């Protein structure tokens, strides 16, 4: 696991990620404070049970963006500065090499996500929702599946696509996956070519929203849908397979 540890060390010694995190935390705090008041049918949303799904929505999108930012350059940097040469000649397989780098990406992405998510825990504590607080950690495990998949997908495509293309593709997957229900609804409203295009997008992108929304259901005391969790894990598995299949010809 030396490669993974090294990659994590590099991340911690780099300053840019802290800037991204601070911005993310500020956005989350804004959503929870009166500065960004939302309402349903004209009634301001202040109750924890109403705020929580919204805050989780916001966190998942920001977390996905941070995951892409953290994962996009890790593997390409290794090849660009040729630190890969001295790894390859030591008999480390590409799968092991890329896998450990991708694992470092996932860990740092989930670490960032947890920092944002901690805002929900603080909010629950302030609102006296101690039952919810107790469920926060297992809920985070459910919540993190889709972010891990985004990170892994980004790592995989960064192997074979130029930076911009990989970033755009990962962002498109993340947004389409997180907004799956909205796109499904849109597909029912529009017609003709637009409908076919939307349905194509829906077919090709995984429903990341279904997986991460189980955290909200779990925290609210509703039953969780195993199918959605398995779907999220399946997406993670497929992204892992992509990482395995995508190979570099040269170090």
Continuous segment of H or E residues that includes residue 65: helix 48-71
**Position among 19, 35, 40, 164 found at the interface with another protein (CB under 8 A):** 40
For 93, which DSSP code? -
Residue 193 in contact with another protein, rule: CB under 8 A: no
H helices then E strands: how many in the chain? 12, 2
Q: Which residue has the tokens 């997957």?
A: 173
Continuous segment of H or E residues that includes residue 208: helix 208-219
In the shown chain, the binding pattern of residues 9 to 28 toward another protein, with x for contact by CB under 8 A and - for none, equals: xx--xx--------------
The CA distance from 105 to 83, in Å, is 17
Size, binding site for another protein by CB under 8 A: 52
Residue 208 in contact with another protein, rule: CB under 8 A: no
* Residues comprising the chain, all counted: 251
Piece of 21-29, 89-97, 105-113, 123-131 that binds another protein (CB under 8 A)? 89-97
Quote the least distance from Cβ 14 to another protein, whole Å. 8
Cβ(71)–Cβ(166) below 8 Å: no
**Position among 3, 28, 101, 173 found at the interface with another protein (CB under 8 A):** 3
User: Is 91 strand, coil or helix?
Assistant: coil
**Position among 135, 186, 224, 246 found at the interface with another protein (CB under 8 A):** 186
Residue 196 in contact with another protein, rule: CB under 8 A: no
User: Is 191 strand, coil or helix?
Assistant: coil
Residues that bind another protein (CB under 8 A): 2-3, 6, 9-10, 13-14, 38-41, 43, 45, 50, 53-54, 57-58, 81-83, 85-94, 181-182, 184-189, 191, 225-227, 230-231, 233-234, 237, 241, 249-251
């Amino acid at each position: 696991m030396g490669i993974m540890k090294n990659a994590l060390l590099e991340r911690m010694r780099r300053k840019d990620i802290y800037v991204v995190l601070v911005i993310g935390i500020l956005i989350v705090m804004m959503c929870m404070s009166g500065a960004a008041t939302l309402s349903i049918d004209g009634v301001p949303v202040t109750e924890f049970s109403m705020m929580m799904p919204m805050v989780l929505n916001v966190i998942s999108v920001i977390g996905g963006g941070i995951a892409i930012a953290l994962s996009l350059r890790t593997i390409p940097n290794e090849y660009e500065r040729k630190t890969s040469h001295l790894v390859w000649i030591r008999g480390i397989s590409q799968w092991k090499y890329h896998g450990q780098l991708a694992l470092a990406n996932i860990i740092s992405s989930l670490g960032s996500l947890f920092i944002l998510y901690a805002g929900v825990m603080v909010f629950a504590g302030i609102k006296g929702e101690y039952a919810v607080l107790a469920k926060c950690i297992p809920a985070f495990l459910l919540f993190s599946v889709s972010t891990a998949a985004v990170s892994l997908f980004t790592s995989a495509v960064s192997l074979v696509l130029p930076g911009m293309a990989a970033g755009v593709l990962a962002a498109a997957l993340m947004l389409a996956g997180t907004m799956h229900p909205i796109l499904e609804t849109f597909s029912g409203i529009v017609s003709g070519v637009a409908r076919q295009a939307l349905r194509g997008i829906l077919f090709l992108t995984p429903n990341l929203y279904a997986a991460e929304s189980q955290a909200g259901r779990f925290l609210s005391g509703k039953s969780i849908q195993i199918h959605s969790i398995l779907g999220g894990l399946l997406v993670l598995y497929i992204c892992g397979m992509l990482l395995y299949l995508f190979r570099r010809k040269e170090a």
